[in-house]
Structure 1
Amino acid sequence: MSVLPILTWPDKRLTQRCDHVGHEDLRPLIADMFDTMYAAKGRGLAAPQVGVMKRLFVFDTTWKEGDKAPMIMIDPVVIACERVPVVMEEMCLSIPGLAVPVERHKAVTMQWTDATGDIHMGDFDGAEARVIQHEFDHLNGLLHFDRIDPALRDALEKPWLAARA
């Protein structure tokens, strides 16, 4: 497999809503996405971050502390969320080096398809819930910047963009 280039902000593809996958075989892409995520030392990676405008993401919230536990969500749907807000700093592989305080739901219930076409439903909390919500946002063309106060976004975004100009 191979490591793919990761798109960085302000690439317009990062603000576009992705298309449903359906019955497409994406196993080679998924393998490349895991290679890319691990090489970048991330915990999650959405397809649009590698220029593929499909509704899928990969994640592994445990590999930095122990064994790998890779997960794939294809055409995911948020079924429910625990409306307890939790604010934590998040980083994004598409905006490297910039931590942003983001409010997310404490827990989520998801439905998704795996790489073999089987449909699953599961409850997630803690780090898994946060990563899932972050990656799910990418499928809808949202970045963690879109979840913060506009004044804070402006204060963080301008110097980040200026440093890359």
Structure 2
Amino acid sequence: MAIREILEAPDPRLKTVSKPVDTFDDDLKTLVDDMFETMYAAHGIGLAAIQVGEPIRLLVIDLQEEDKDAEPVECEHDGTKHTHQPVINDPRVFVNPEILDPSDDMGTYQEGCLSVPDIYADVERPARCRVRYQDLDGNQHEEEMSGMLATCIQHEMDHLNGILFIDHLSRLKRSMALKKLKKMREAA
């Protein structure tokens, strides 16, 4: 496994429409392993293959929700001790995903993106959707999704079509977000 570089806006490769996956082999499994490692290292909950420079219809998601039934855990990061709630890892792989029957009712979540670091904005999307996808062996599945999972899969599927979450914002808000990102890069 390896941590890969995450492409950041305005990299033109992020506007690429990804091609379907037609070969289900060890290379695909290695890419998925790398994507999870990259996503976890960047503290993300979703990652599309194009974000690591691979223009194929593949994405990974792990909402890493807190385990409210578990005892809090003490840990130390950078010399600072703190307590946190353990998370439940649920790594999910979606190959060639398609959204079917998005709901008419909408939900709004504050979204961020590993390709647009440190920028967050409210985005409205269908609250529920049915998703058809393949697993790493090429088997087809259909699943009804709602809440954060529905939002996350729609966000990641936008990447497969060359769309960033900031493309859902007004022209003014998108311009402000890109200027903020440019300033942060210049300050680094």
Equivalent position SS for 1:81: coil
Aligned to 1:15: 15
Aligned to 1:137: 158
Aligned to 2:47: 45
Choose from 127, 138, 154 the match for 1:106. Answer: 127
Q: Percent of pairs identical after alignment?
A: 36
1:1-165 map, 5 Å: 1-25=1-25, 26-63=28-65, 65=67, 66-165=87-186
CA distance 1:115–1:147, change in 2 (3 Å): same
Pairwise CA distance, 1:48: 0.3
CA contact (8 A) 2:107 2:126 kept: yes
The whole-number CA distance in structure 2 between the counterparts of 1:70 and 1:33 is: 11
The whole-number CA distance in structure 1 between the counterparts of 2:66 and 2:6 is: 20
Normalising by structure 1, what TM-score? 0.95
Runs of 4+ in 1 over 4 A off after TM superposition: none
* Cα deviation digits, residues 20-76 of structure 1 (max 9, x gap): 111342001001101111111100000000000000000011355522111100011
Pairwise CA distance, 1:112: 0.3
Mean CA deviation greater in 70-79 or 147-156: 147-156
* Cα deviation digits, residues 60-114 of structure 1 (max 9, x gap): 1135552211110001111111121222210100111111211111011000000
Query: Which consecutive unaligned segments of at least 5 residues does structure 2 have?
Result: 68-86
- Considering only CA atoms, is the larger Rg found in Structure 1 or Structure 2? 2
The whole-number CA distance in structure 2 between the counterparts of 1:60 and 1:27 is: 16
Equivalent position SS for 1:135: helix
The whole-number CA distance in structure 2 between the counterparts of 1:50 and 1:23 is: 19
Counterpart of 2:22, as a letter, is G
Query: Which consecutive unaligned segments of at least 5 residues does structure 1 have?
Result: none
* Cα deviation digits, residues 124-150 of structure 1 (max 9, x gap): 111100110000000000000111111
Counterpart of 2:48, as a letter, is A
Counterpart of 2:59, as a letter, is F
Equivalenced residue count is 165
Normalising by structure 2, what TM-score? 0.84
